Homo-oligomer: A and B are copies of this chain.
Amino acid sequence: MPFTHLDENQQPQMVDVTDKAVTRRSATARALVQLTPEIMRQFDGQELQSKKGPVFHTAILAGIQAAKKTSELIPLCHPLPLTKCSVTIQAVDDVRVEIRATAVTDAKTGVEMEALTAASGAALTLYDMCKALSKAIVIEDIRLLEKTGGKSGDYQSAT
């Protein structure tokens, strides 16, 4: 008999959170996106217009929708019903914008991946809306800024 029991430490598994308490969880992530001066010149003070339409509006919606798909995109994430998801975009200098995404829920596990997925989804959509203008856009620095709740406690990014 050639097969033996597989050591399950070597195989993928969803972490068992069954016996954890439901507590309030929040997380904020950010993505920096480096555009170009040409693209930034389309900025009218509130929005950036592309040939596909308003860039920030579309990216914010895509980020919120991506957050709701987190457990579908990341194989070992638990499905979590978000009670809040907000995404904002603002300029940090003359070629870069910062996307910030916050996710909140009452759950047995944290929402860091939901915040990171929202930021990434918004960044990819921003890229898509602007790519006719430049192929050299770079999504740089997607990271967790802070989280609260859960056994591992609160976290604040050094940056």
Which residues of A does B touch, CB under 8 Å? 1-18, 20, 24, 40-41, 43, 45-47, 49, 51-54, 56-58, 60-62, 64-66, 68-69, 71-94, 97, 104-106, 108, 112-113, 116-117, 120-121, 123-125, 127-129, 131, 135-144, 147, 155, 157-158
Task: Check A91 against B1 for contact (C-beta < 8 Å).
Answer: yes
Task: Check A15 against B51 for contact (C-beta < 8 Å).
Answer: yes
Give the dominant DSSP class at A's interface: mixed
**Within the oligomer, what is the number of copies of this chain?**
6
> Which 9 residue pairs across A and B have the least CB separation, nearest first?
A3-B91, A12-B53, A139-B142, A16-B84, A18-B83, A138-B143, A79-B81, A14-B85, A5-B90
Task: Check A15 against B74 for contact (C-beta < 8 Å).
Answer: no
Task: Check A76 against B58 for contact (C-beta < 8 Å).
Answer: yes
Q: Which of B64, B76, B113 contacts A14 (CB 8 A)?
A: B64
